[in-house]
Amino acid sequence: MCVDPRPVRALLVDGTIIRVRALDEADAQLVAGFYRDLPVYDRYLRFFSAGAVPPAEDLVASRGPTDLSLGAFRGDELIGVAQCCGTRTDPSTAEVALAVAHGEQALGVGTLLLEHLASRARRSGVRRFVADVLPENERVRQVLTDVGLPMWRSGDGGEVSVELDLAPAGGYPAALAAREERADIRSLAAVLAPRSVLVVGAGRGSDSVGHAVLRNLVRAGFAGRLLAVNPHATQVCGVDCLRSVNELTEPVDLAVLCVPASAVPKVAEQCGRRGVRALLVISSGLSGVPALATGLLDAVRRHGMRMVGPNCLGVVNTDPAVRLDATFAEPAPAGDVGLVTQSGGVAVAVQHELGRLGLGVSTAVSTGDKYDVSGNDLLLWWHGDERTRVAVLHLESFGNPRKFSRFARRLAERMPVVTVRSGSSAAGQRAAASHSASTATPRVTRDALFRQAGVLAVDRIDELTELVATLSWQPLPAGRRTAIVANAGGIGVLAADACEAHGLTVALLSDRTQRRLRRLLPQGAATANPVDTSAVVSPDALASAVSAVRADPGVDAVLVATAATVLADPFPGVASAAAEKGIPVVAVRLGQAEHVTGLSVPGTGATVPVFADTAAAATALAWAATRGEWLARPRGTVGPLSGIDDGRAGGVVARFLAGHPEGGWLEPAQVQDVLEAFGLPVVRSTLVDGRAEAVAAYTAAGRPVAMKAVADGVLHKAAAGGVRLGLDSVDSVCRAVAEFSALFGPRLRGCLVQPMVPAGPELLVGATSDPSFGPLVTLGLGGTVTDLAADRAHRLVPLSDVDAEEMLVAFHAGARLFDGHGDSAAARAAVVDAVVRVGHLAEQLPDVAELDLNPLVVGADGCVVVDARIRVVPAVATDPMLRALGF
């Protein structure tokens, strides 16, 4: 594992951008100059002396991996330094110090540096920071307190001793997330709530993109100052024009670039020099030309600007205090749906559908090629936006999936988060050697992320708008028990089949409810679920029937399906039935032209979603139930685990990679060491060479043994004929050695001898590492049937105990795995613990690319790993919690 040496861009609390990078001996004079330029008092607080600064060569000296220096830069100016130095007596402890330029204090520079320094130190083996701080150094003391790491203080004389625990647990993740949200929202204000907008490339012709953007801004009544750039006009759309960006006399918040791709880098540079805070780059054609893309990014980075695009539709904010429509699309209807898409076409389609349904958007962002602002930024913005009540996303790719997971989970606790899957084909799946990796397709990984984060992921735009309408108009069901009321038996059967197919339960109506229905409905009506009201039912009778089933305590939701006949059209009764508050109601009206419409309930402000098809209604109800379940589920704990020695395990991996820089499969003894270091129950194995050693190992075991061949090129031993079980005599052991020698020849490097364990259900527990999403944990049937069943559950780390519990019932065989097998509660708890530990191992050892425990044998009151394999490759360590922009 190595630390990424590249500088990162990060946001301060005022929304401005700085760079953080490592400092080394080449920066010695720069650091010395920084300290010399500090006011005398600030220098006294840093060095406990106002005298001369220490020699430059001592300021960034590195005696080992725990001596680290980081600098914060605004442009090319060094504005802050944070350093730690490992103590000689304890390699897990480092002394920490920091200083910030006087004019840059109180902006969060020190806190940001401390976060990054702690992350790098943690990956270098440091477990705690210690510092001696003067009592009058209130700002540094405040930084150490506010960072959120567990802290202890001592001393009340001339110095205060502080100790920080660097484990990213407790309140630290929440404190980090809160700082990130505040800074991100401040920076996005220039994009989503600008006080001034400049449109560059606003042509006079109505067919130009710049003209359309400016026209939309004027039409929306933008609440701020509006300017345009056109060298050939004094006004366009009634807006005053400048001849070039260079004529700006004061900075603007947002510049919209609608110029040819070849001109974009130059215009972006001009904007940066004139103090523009953010760019909205509508122009396309940059990403296919590296020089243009690099030129744009360099200008944005150099001047600390945020950017949407390039190649995007634009940005909308319908807040009456903002009234921003910087797009070249039809005006977006106002509402409470937040929308972010990479595709402009998808944005247009979704906005059109929302408008047709009377919903509309609070904010809409088309990210296009997504150089900077992404879905993650919008998740943070919406979390702090009271006007947004539903979040909708269409993302073709993830810039930082681990942050997406954290931000989406946090937002989903406040509002529904709905997405349309995109790019989830398994075509890019690599050929994988391990059982776990063979099922870790792009869609599996993405769906695991969505499931854990509470994101409702659908496959079609019409399905998305159907779900948004249902979530916007109806309460969530308390469960999946659904009553169906239809005026034709065939429709009811279709609805029942659709409910079952989508994971809903056709509720059993109580005797009391059925008696009431018999009194309300015409003769011949069927009162069992699905309820067939008969074709002659009146609107009033239908309304009464729906009210009756809504009152049944065994019903969580009602699906009403009607078809007009020459005898009656009971559909108007749906609105009457939904007038009373209660469980959700959705309707199906066969024959309606639109796939979904809204039926207003007079006098209540409520709306019933009306579908053209029973399957669509059932799908929307099922997703609503899924959201209700996700909100109600216990969050679980990702707490500290006992018996973990990650230093021992990390040492095994590091030593292997030192001898195999390209990576590879660990030897059996190394696998055993790594698993034991993470507290996993492993059957102790002995690697032997020849009959004599095999017999000695068998004798030492004192019971029947299993023997497994260790041969070059053989990964799955059983499939290659390299496993012998239940060997209970010296002759059988010798025979197994001879058979392996004959089968594998010179490839045979030895044999593993293991004591046999009692038979029991066999599981596969595995992990694969995705460079973007992080480790994915897999659980399914193990042993020789693992590739035949293809019945597995997947979750991304960090993995909680609740996640592991859910995995046990997420694959079909898991629900009955412990039936009639000893102490099922104890065995279940042991499997859950093993799954959680595998997740922790994969998270703590980023060099682990693939891991299989197969089989993990479930015993009467526990479980044990009988066979395992681990493949490692050198990985660049990343910290998914760290505050950093993605470019």
Task: Report pLDDT digits (tens) over 834-887.
Answer: 999 999 999 989 999 999 999 999 988 889 999 999 999 998 777 888 899 876
Q: Is the pLDDT of residue 69 over 90?
A: yes
User: Of 224-228, 681-685, 725-729, 877-881, where does the model show the most confidence?
Assistant: 224-228
pLDDT of residue 815: 63
Q: b/e per residue, 476-504, with b = 16+ CB within 10 A? A: bbebbbbbbbbbbbebbebbbebbeebeb
Q: Is the pLDDT of residue 755 over 70?
A: yes
pLDDT of residue 171: 83
Grade residue 167 by pLDDT with cuts at 50, 70 and 90.
Answer: confident
**φ and ψ at residue 630, rounded to 5 degrees:** -65, -40
Query: Residues 730-748: pLDDT tens digits?
Result: 999 999 999 999 999 999 9
The residue type of 621 is L
Query: Residues 238-288: pLDDT tens digits?
Result: 999 999 999 999 999 999 999 999 999 999 999 999 999 999 999 999 999
Grade residue 51 by pLDDT with cuts at 50, 70 and 90.
Answer: confident
Grade residue 423 by pLDDT with cuts at 50, 70 and 90.
Answer: low
Q: Is the pLDDT of residue 136 over 80?
A: yes
Query: Residues 296-327: pLDDT tens digits?
Result: 999 999 999 999 999 999 999 999 999 999 99
pLDDT of residue 787: 63
Instruction: Find the mean pLDDT for residues 419-443.
Output: 54
pLDDT of residue 439: 46
Among candidates 466, 507, 445, 435, which has minimal Cα distance to 868? 435
- Portion of the chain with pLDDT greater than 90, in percent: 73
Instruction: Find the mean pLDDT for residues 137-160.
Output: 87
pLDDT of residue 790: 66
Grade residue 435 by pLDDT with cuts at 50, 70 and 90.
Answer: very low
Are 476 and 624 contacting, i.e. CB atoms less than 8 angstroms apart? yes
Kind and range of the H or E run holding 835: helix 824-844
- Portion of the chain with pLDDT greater than 70, in percent: 95
Which residues 6+ apart lie within 8 Å of 473 measured at CB? Answer: 598, 606, 607, 608, 609
pTM: 0.88
Instruction: Find the mean pLDDT for residues 685-712.
Output: 91
Q: At what angle do helices 344-356 and 461-473 cross, to 10 degrees?
A: 40
Among candidates 585, 587, 571, 573, which has minimal Cα distance to 495? 587
Query: Residues 667-677: pLDDT tens digits?
Result: 989 999 999 99
Q: Could you give the CA distance from residue 167 to residue 171 in angstroms, rounded to a whole number?
A: 11
Grade residue 822 by pLDDT with cuts at 50, 70 and 90.
Answer: low
Q: Is the pLDDT of residue 429 over 50?
A: no
In which region does residue 772 sit, left (phi positive, over 0), alpha (psi from -120 to 50) or beta (all else)?
alpha
